[in-house]
Amino acid sequence: MTAEKFTLVLPVVVLCVILSGLFVYASWYMPEHRDVAVDVPWYSLDGRYEYRAIVSEQNPLWPVGTTLVDNPVYFPAATPRLQTTFSLLAEGEAVDLNVVSYTAAVLSMKEADTTYWSKEVVITEDTGLMQSGVYQNSFTLDVGDMQQQLNGIREYLGFQRGTPVVDLVTTVLFTGTVDGRTVAEHRVYSMPITLGTGHYSISDNRSFTETVRVRQTETIEVYPPVHQQYAAVLLLLISVGMLLWVVTSRSPRFKPSADTLQALEREAMHARYRDWMSQGRFDHSITAHRIELGSLEDIISAAVDMNQRVIYDEDGRIYFFVHNNILYSYEPA
């Protein structure tokens, strides 16, 4: 590369290296910051029913006062009433809530997804505070009375289809603060009780847990797409390669010695006249008159003029031919 071209190209290449380096840094280490609305966990709610079936009637199976829990079925003849407790647990950093609860028994006749009729019977209403995040309300559910009311309605309607069900439904309203944020919510929980002939059973699904979330603004880091990041790296490598090429194009080259140059020139001359030569061995016992020529070109020209071929002894490094009992030779220095 000439000095003029070098002076013009070098600043451009250096500028490309700088810009591509900045592009790499911006793509990998300078993400864009954006404000986005995200839903994050605020507090958790756990509503659940707990019950005890107390044996209150004389029967041949259990003594009066026996507590039955987790039986597959219960019998109104022995345990017509359930001692029931509804609990609501709120977990957060700081819970300060007022609770109003309303519990009703919904009597109904159901078949598959069809409800033929229903009736609501108020069980209890209560208000209270969540102390340490826990609210509880205990009451007695008279399942025997519920069954009598269902049977009376069925007999009055004269309609026997469906399965009698009592859904214990608790509606909870709670207001106050959790972690310093204002809360004004309500939830509905239920515990189904299926009535049969002379027995009833309680659903195993009596616990309801959820995480309440709140929307807030967060700042997130957004990086360019991966293909853009790798494109920036590739551009930097190309720019650095161009810089190295420009610099090396003006750097001092290797200068061979005089002996090396001379050997290269001889090799080039030998290759140039290869078609006029043959390989052979020089016999030092030749007695002919000897004429030494000054260059390879001279001996080749002489041989051509005399219609001869030059013989080259590679081991002795001598070119020669014999004509009219005269030895023509050339030995490179």
The full DSSP string for 34-58 is EEEEEEEEEEEEEEEEEEEEE--S-
Cα–Cα distance for residue pair 28/230, rounded to 1 Å: 9
E strand segments, the chain? 32-54, 67-68, 81-91, 95-111, 114-129, 134-142, 163-178, 181-196, 199-202, 207-222, 277-279, 289-292, 310-313, 318-323, 326-330
pLDDT 10s per residue in the chain (333 long)?
A: 566 677 778 788 888 888 888 888 888 888 888 888 888 899 999 999 999 999 999 999 999 999 999 889 999 999 999 999 999 999 988 888 999 999 999 999 988 889 999 999 999 999 988 877 899 999 999 998 999 999 899 899 988 888 899 999 999 999 999 988 899 999 999 999 998 888 999 988 888 999 999 888 888 888 888 888 888 889 888 888 888 888 887 666 555 666 776 777 778 778 887 888 888 888 777 777 888 888 888 888 888 888 888 888 888 888 888 888 888 888 887
Same-domain status, 54 and 199: yes
Same-domain status, 210 and 230: no
**Does some domain include residue 167?**
yes
Domain count, the chain: 3
Label the pairing between strands 326-330 and 289-292: parallel
Same-domain status, 75 and 209: yes
Same-domain status, 211 and 188: yes
**Does some domain include residue 256?**
no
Look at residue 2 in the predicted model and tell me its pLDDT. Answer: 61
Cα–Cα distance for residue pair 84/146, rounded to 1 Å: 15
Q: What angle do CA 147, 186, 91 make, to 5 degrees?
A: 105
Same-domain status, 203 and 278: no
Number of H helices, E strands in the chain: 5, 15
The two structure tokens encoding residue 71: 């039986």
Look at residue 219 in the predicted model and tell me its pLDDT. Answer: 86
Same-domain status, 70 and 204: yes
Same-domain status, 58 and 173: yes
Same-domain status, 198 and 64: yes
Same-domain status, 26 and 159: no
**Is residue 178 helix, strand or coil?**
strand
The two structure tokens encoding residue 108: 């109904």
| Sign of the four-CA dihedral 106, 169, 86, 73 | positive
What residue numbers bound the domain in which 273 lies? 261-330
The two structure tokens encoding residue 313: 């002894």
**Does some domain include residue 320?**
yes
Look at residue 332 in the predicted model and tell me its pLDDT. Answer: 82
**Does some domain include residue 54?**
yes
Same-domain status, 265 and 142: no
Cα–Cα distance for residue pair 167/108, rounded to 1 Å: 8
Look at residue 1 in the predicted model and tell me its pLDDT. Answer: 55
Same-domain status, 303 and 206: no
**Does some domain include residue 254?**
no
| 8 A C-beta contact, residue 105 and residue 50 | no
Same-domain status, 185 and 299: no
